[in-house]
Amino acid sequence: MFYIFTLMKARFILFFFFYVSLISAQKYATRSGQTSFIGSEETFEQIKAINKVSTAIVDSSNGNIAILLFVSAFKFEIALMEEHFNENYMESSKYPKATFVGNIQDFKYEELTNSENNYDIVGVLAIKGIERSVTINGRMQKTDQGISLKTNFIVLTEDYNIKIPKVVRNKISKTINIKAEYELIEKI
Amino acid sequence: MSLLKKYKLALIIVCLLLLGGFALTSYVYQNEEPMSEKSISYKGDVSGFIKASLNESSVVVLKARVTSVRVGGLQLDKIVSIQYNENENLNFKSVNVGDIIVVKGGYLGYDDLFEEYKLISCIILKDE
């Protein structure tokens, strides 16, 4: 109980300080970021989905970044797959959100150009209530309306307690390839 | 068993397998229920919607004022962000800031980053 309370308090403080720092800074944001994943081996029907309502905010003064997405907003081509994803694997009614809070290392807005630059983004990725420190590679560039952020990274299902039943173990990959594309515009 | 009976039995088995396969394929590839036909968990204004303890993925109908128009979405009463599918573009095209509209959509939850409630796959209800 004490552990849960401490964890909740730590998350609150993290979000609070991040949010407060964003209020006074120049921010770039999106409500319609695209996050997709492919989570299958080479099977007849590939397990892939896309979330087109991911939200992200970048503080251009210090490179702080926060991303939030609703798990149930992932859309599959097959409705039954979507149902199983939410109910059996991600338990989206219990853990509705996935978040990332971190910092884009060595980020200087003035140095962004119209061509992609690579950055290490260090932070905490929380899925199914489990938080893990991660470093992902992000490609960023200036656009007409703001900043473009793209990234590809891999998540291990066992790291986030995503249990795969034996019967489909050879169909679902233990590594999930995640791709994110966010077109961030200046937030007024 | 005569040869004819064997053929009949084989034919019945093949038919059953085909029917089973068809039923299984239909079950797996069934389409998602369209938003217009989904049952509603909450219907009313935004203040009541905020007070209602709704589960994520609940379907709601909201009557509210448009406070912002964005690409692919709207903001209602300054606290609800809605997004619609591309095939709804035409219906949402004529919506302007200040209009009072009735929308039906899937409730996602509260977005801590933007401090607003989120609805997706929204459609406009014209007959309300």
Do B54 and B39 belong together in one domain?
yes
- Residue-wise pLDDT for B42-60, tens only, equals 999 999 999 998 988 899 9
- Of A53, A67, A159, residue with least CA distance to A104: A67
Do B63 and B111 belong together in one domain?
yes
Do B39 and B24 belong together in one domain?
no
Strand partners, A178: A37, A153
Do B39 and B95 belong together in one domain?
yes
- H helices then E strands: how many in chain B? 3, 6
What's the pLDDT score for residue A17? 52
Mean pLDDT across chain B? 90
**Least reliable range by pLDDT among A16-30, A81-95, B60-74:** A16-30
Please give the ipTM for the structure prediction.
Answer: 0.82
- Residue-wise pLDDT for B20-43, tens only, equals 998 888 877 777 888 999 999 999
Using a CB-CB cut-off of 8 Å, the residues of chain B touching A32 are 71-73, 83
Do B68 and B86 belong together in one domain?
yes
Q: Could you give phi then psi for residue B30, rounded to 5 degrees? A: -60, 145
- pTM score, whole prediction: 0.84
CA count, 13 A, side-chain hemisphere, A153: 19
How big is the CA angle at B114 (ends B113 and B120), to the nearest 5 degrees? Answer: 105
Is pLDDT larger for residue A138 or for residue A174? Answer: A138
How many domains is chain B built from?
2
Structural domain containing residue B49: 35-124
The identity of residue B109, as a single letter, is G
Do B10 and B63 belong together in one domain?
no
- Of the options 3.40.50.12780, 1.10.3720.10, 2.40.128.110, 1.20.1600.10, the CATH number for the domain spanning A2-187: 2.40.128.110
Is residue A31's pLDDT more than 90?
Answer: yes
What letter does residue B38 receive in the DSSP assignment? S
- Residue-wise pLDDT for A9-25, tens only, equals 555 555 555 555 555 56
User: Which of A57, A78, A79 lies closest to B113 in CB terms?
Assistant: A57
CB contact under 8 A, B118 and A70: yes
Do B71 and B91 belong together in one domain?
yes
Which stretches of chain A sit within 8 Å of chain B by CB? Answer: 15, 19, 29, 31-32, 52-53, 55-57, 66, 68, 70, 72-73, 78-80, 82, 86, 92-93, 96-97
Do B26 and B43 belong together in one domain?
no
Q: In angstroms, what is the C-alpha Rg of chain A?
A: 17
Do B13 and B66 belong together in one domain?
no
**Residues 60-119 of chain B whose Cβ lies under 8 A from any Cβ of chain A:** 70-73, 81, 83, 106, 108-109, 111-114, 118
